[in-house]
Structure 1
Amino acid sequence: MSDSSDEGSKSYSVDEYAESKQALSRTLDSIRSTGEIGTFYIYSEYANPGLVIGGDRPIRLPLDEDDAQAIKSICQRMPSEHRNRIVVDNTVRNTWELDASKFNLVNKNWCEDFSSRILRDTAKGLGMFELRADPHRLLLYEPGSFFQTHSDSEKEQDIIGTLVICLPSQHEGGDVCLSFESQKHRLSTAKNSEFDLTAMSWYSNVTHEVERLTSGYRLVLTYKLFASGEDKISTSTFSQHTIGLKPMLVKFRTDFGAVEKPLYPLEHLYTKPSLCLKDPKGRDRSVGCCLNEICSEAGFYFMLGQTTHFQVDCDECQDQPTLRILYNLNGDQLSSKLVPDLEDFLDYDIGRKAPHSEDEGGLLAKAEVPRRISDRTEWTLAEGWLII
């Protein structure tokens, strides 16, 4: 897969290669996200969405007891995807839900307010240029309601996250706790719950928990977020990160390019069947856009790789990754079943990438659940940028 013009690559020592890999990894690690893993906005002025349930039952805001009971009467208990099964388990999630097909938002001013302010603020906070939001559910939390730690499934092509709009309804408790690697955020809606509207969002594989509601009702609209339009990151963002990266890639290509094929791991997990440049989230998006700008100039091909991991059950738990599929930046499949050396990965850490065991009680996206095969565990995910 290397360029044939590089056949005369010079020899090098293991230490030289290790040092160059570390330097390249540090430079790529220094690229920061243009957005956050989640957003939180409070709106004191907004258009009433005009919530109507069951075809003809308007819901007044702030929510009162009668309307809360009316909503509850046509809702069902919200199921969970747990251990690869869809179940209703009140020890995991205790929430009432109403599908988007069973309620309407009839105030036309809400649509304008939503798209011009809420969705715009959400996109900016997540570091995206443009987002599309599709209505998903109406959720009602009552005293005692909660949702254990989980991450959302990527069930649809191009879905990147979740938007939650908390409608005016006085309550206590019900904080949302977000976690991604070392980043942790607590989002509290209780303080402004009686009269204000709160909008929260997060990427689809950010782990989150809704803590137990202690009083009142928490009424939320949920939306599925999709990348929309062309991705745009400012030229100043590119130039800031690429000044040192381009000469480093050129040197790496000169010294090792005919033999070594570095792979840079993504931070987020991606479980969809194909990937293209517009799919990555947060810092992954910034890294991808920077590499896309300079790889060809530095003599590299740049693509996404999806790996299957085989973790053998032994004392050392050896990982045996297979690079099953390569995609170009448009999402077209290029190749399959290459076996990279672990040394090709920059800053490779199997512990950070392995999905949690089903026995730990976590809620996983279906495609992330490890599959048992004899004496090994197998899982597939988008592993990283492949720079060849």
Structure 2
Amino acid sequence: MPDLAQSFADILAAVQRPGGFHVAGSFDIHPPRLVVTGVGSIALPLLPVQAEALLRVAEQAPYGRGPETLVDTAVRRTWQVDGARVALTGQRWSADLAAVVERVRRGLAVAGAIEAQLYKLLIYDTGSFFVPHRDTEKAPGMFATLVVVLPCDYSGGELIIRHRGQEVRVDLHRDEPSEAAFAAFYADCLHEVLPIASGYRLALIYNLVRVGPGPLPQAPDYGTEQQRLVQLLGGWNTSTAAPDETPAKLVYPLEHAYTQAEIAFAALKGKDAAIAQCLIPAADTAGCDLHLALLTVTESGWAEYTGGGRWDSPDLEVGEVTETDWEIHDWCLPDDSRPTMDPLPFSADELSPADALADLDEAEPEFSEATGNAGASFERTYQRAALILWPRTRRAATLAAGGLGVSVPALLALVHRWEAAGAKSGDPLWHEARSLAAAIRTGWPTDLWTRRQASNDGRMRDLFAIQLRLDDLDGCADFIARQSADGAYGAADNTALALVLGHLPTQRATELLRAVITANVGRLPGACAGLLLRCTQSDDPARRAALQAAARALLDGLPDGHAIVPLPNWEHPEPLTAAQVADAVTAFLRIDAAIAEQAVMRFLSLPAVYNLDGLLLPAALLLKDGGTDPEPAAVQTLRRAVLAHLDARIALPLAPPPDWARDAAIPCSCKHCQGLSRFLAAPTERVWLFKAAETDRGHVADKIQRANADLDLTTDKRGRPYTLVCTKNQASYERRVRQRALDLQHRERLVG
């Protein structure tokens, strides 16, 4: 293709006139004195009783058909009061209206002065509407209509405006009672009012007229430019050229500055608005995606001293750029929705025109003076709003190249569009979504850490869920084999993985499950137990029985104090929780009771790994609370072992100490700690005063805390050095009392 970026810029350069065919917005209203002949003053927000009074003095609104004026409630059902019977006074209202008219003038790009002449007051009640129609010239110089909806309580009644194949839907209802809404549009625009769902809608209708001689303003027409854009972009979309022969996307920087909060097609100004209005329908017709976004270029490098400035603030200038980062972010679609896409990188060959960032060097740098071995440096950031396009035929490759933070949200949005269109398998959106999903799988990160991070971030889960919605089971299975069964797995994937495996044929599902567990059980035994448990929830006993190989893989990989699968230095196995131990036993029971018994015996034979109090007791309680009758043998074995442990501890005598002797193994034999040990063993001594330097006091206090000795510590700061006051207490006995109460509670739950 010829220079696409330059040709694109040349066409847009011909779009000179800003403005659109409509303007809409809201403003803070200073309530006017609104008086209607036959009713009197009208309160705002509009009260239902006054709305009824207005309807009694209003007439059925007619509509024009050629030279005729007709009343037909099948075409227009609303009521009107002629402008001559309506009085609007108040200095603040005049200023409010003047400000609205100026906003309309700028938005419609009308040169010269215009004014608003009150034409009608319209009252819409529930069910009122007006079918599509065009306004006729009602006054000399009229070129457009202005609708101001006053504060009132209603729903429905959206205004639809159409012009040359474009359509906008404007909701003029405002919840805030101090706010009014307006919409203005050229008189030749087809427009309609949808039915009022509830309440009353009160609207002032103004004729917008040109002040002074000259031709009437016309809505902008970009037909020629749009046709050229459709031809250019359509050729790009259908091009069979190699990907490196044409840019993957076009980045067209805009003229005006916009903040992050202002990024919206509706907020574009001047020529930017005209270009967007021209480009939106052309891009859609040509099969291209269009976004509005911010582009940011960040440069850094080393700086040079110029020799000027003071000694403590020398002058610096940019020396050499050593690092650059070009990215597009803060995405916005033509309907002003904001997809949650991560930043996408772009390159200079995608700029349109090529010199669009010629003022990049004018960005103000921030300098850092030399420190230590590092010389002086600088960093500068350049930001512009831009229109971004790419062909839909290359959407998959473009988005996949942007990383998972771009491609997966874009795929999700595409699937939403497909489902909104009827979710028909085999239609173009379906094929496009499956193509993008395949491109995402192909471009998935290759290094293990990044792949696991994608799992933790939910990207893998989202892709599984999307592929299921697209009925792409083969893609799911391939992805499990290449990613989940190769170490890119986390607990966040379990729900989606189990759902996918549940849709696959039994043999394929069990093979993949065993592979996932084998690859990950050494690192995430608890997550693997949870996955196996989810996969046993089938009502088909034969399918559950087929999971024996996966169950064996989990059992063989459960911790035994030795690393079964070597892990990288930066990684450690995730400790099992009691809930995960219970999950494993429950899953084994659903598959093969013998495996469950083997697992329990393994737990009980490794007390250093499976602590009775910290792990097996709470697991036994969970199994007991959620168990079945009769109790499975494996659960019974575990429960009996835990009960024996509790009974042995309950049988120990429990009485407060008879004297002040306290047991404690002080892990030190220095002279100070020897004195401490003698004090602890003394049956008649309750307080020990240790007057010593801070270092020695701290040493003794540390050993007391390490030994968990029954001592309260305070510091007497009278005199030098300070004195560490050690007072014996009954903390060990009190702990045993609390433990006894807890043991009795646990025993009751286990027996009951």
Q: Normalization by structure 1: what TM-score?
A: 0.51
Q: For 1:56-95, what aligned pairs fall within 5 Å after superposition?
A: 57-95=40-78
Paired residue secondary structure (1:36): coil
The question of whether the paired residues in 2 share the 8 Å contact of 1:171 and 1:193 is answered with no
Paired residue secondary structure (1:282): coil
- Could you report, residue by residue, the CA deviation over 1:64-115 in whole angstroms, capped at 9, with x for unpaired residues? 1111011111100000112542111000000100001111012232112211
Identify the residue that residue 3 of structure 1 maps to in structure 2: none
Q: Could you tell me how far apart the structure 2 residues matched to 1:179 and 1:30 are?
A: 24
Q: For 1:1-388, what aligned pairs fall within 5 Å after superposition?
A: 30-43=14-27, 45-54=28-37, 57-115=40-98, 117-129=99-111, 130-192=113-175, 194-228=177-211, 276=214, 278-283=215-220
Identify the residue that residue 362 of structure 1 maps to in structure 2: none
For these two proteins, the number of residue pairs brought into alignment is 214
Distance 1:280 1:121, change over 3 A: closer
Identify the residue that residue 7 of structure 2 maps to in structure 1: none
How far apart are residue 29 of structure 1 and its match? 10
- Percent of pairs identical after alignment? 29
Gaps of 5+ in 1: 1-25, 231-275, 288-388
Q: Could you tell me how far apart the structure 1 residues matched to 2:37 and 2:138 are?
A: 27
- Could you report, residue by residue, the CA deviation over 1:339-385 in whole angstroms, capped at 9, with x for unpaired residues? xxxxxxxxxxxxxxxxxxxxxxxxxxxxxxxxxxxxxxxxxxxxxxx
Which one has the bigger strand percentage? Answer: 1
- Could you report, residue by residue, the CA deviation over 1:209-253 in whole angstroms, capped at 9, with x for unpaired residues? 0000010110000100012258xxxxxxxxxxxxxxxxxxxxxxx
State the AA in 1 paired with 2:217. Answer: P
Q: Which runs of 4+ in 1 moved over 3 A?
A: 26-30, 191-195
Q: Could you tell me how far apart the structure 1 residues matched to 2:104 and 2:23 are?
A: 6
The question of whether the paired residues in 1 share the 8 Å contact of 2:29 and 2:178 is answered with no
The question of whether the paired residues in 2 share the 8 Å contact of 1:171 and 1:194 is answered with no
The question of whether the paired residues in 2 share the 8 Å contact of 1:169 and 1:193 is answered with no
RMSD of aligned Cα (Å): 2.6
- Could you report, residue by residue, the CA deviation over 1:24-58 in whole angstroms, capped at 9, with x for unpaired residues? xx979943542111111111x22112110116710
State the AA in 2 paired with 1:123. Answer: R
Q: Could you tell me how far apart the structure 2 residues matched to 1:55 and 1:78 are?
A: 18
Worse-superposed segment, 78-87 or 117-126: 78-87
The question of whether the paired residues in 1 share the 8 Å contact of 2:150 and 2:202 is answered with yes
Distance 1:229 1:124, change over 3 A: farther
Q: Could you tell me how far apart the structure 2 residues matched to 1:29 and 1:73 are?
A: 56
Distance 1:33 1:150, change over 3 A: farther
Greater Rg over alpha carbons, structure: 2
Q: Could you tell me how far apart the structure 2 residues matched to 1:155 and 1:29 are?
A: 37
State the AA in 1 paired with 2:120. Answer: R
How far apart are residue 168 of structure 1 and its match? 0.2
Q: Could you tell me how far apart the structure 2 residues matched to 1:42 and 1:279 are?
A: 26
Worse-superposed segment, 95-104 or 126-135: 126-135
The question of whether the paired residues in 2 share the 8 Å contact of 1:159 and 1:224 is answered with yes
The question of whether the paired residues in 2 share the 8 Å contact of 1:171 and 1:215 is answered with yes
Identify the residue that residue 386 of structure 1 maps to in structure 2: none
Q: Could you tell me how far apart the structure 1 residues matched to 2:77 and 2:203 are?
A: 14
Distance 1:141 1:31, change over 3 A: same
The question of whether the paired residues in 2 share the 8 Å contact of 1:160 and 1:225 is answered with yes
Distance 1:134 1:67, change over 3 A: same
Paired residue secondary structure (1:283): coil
Distance 1:160 1:197, change over 3 A: same
Which one has the bigger helix percentage? Answer: 2
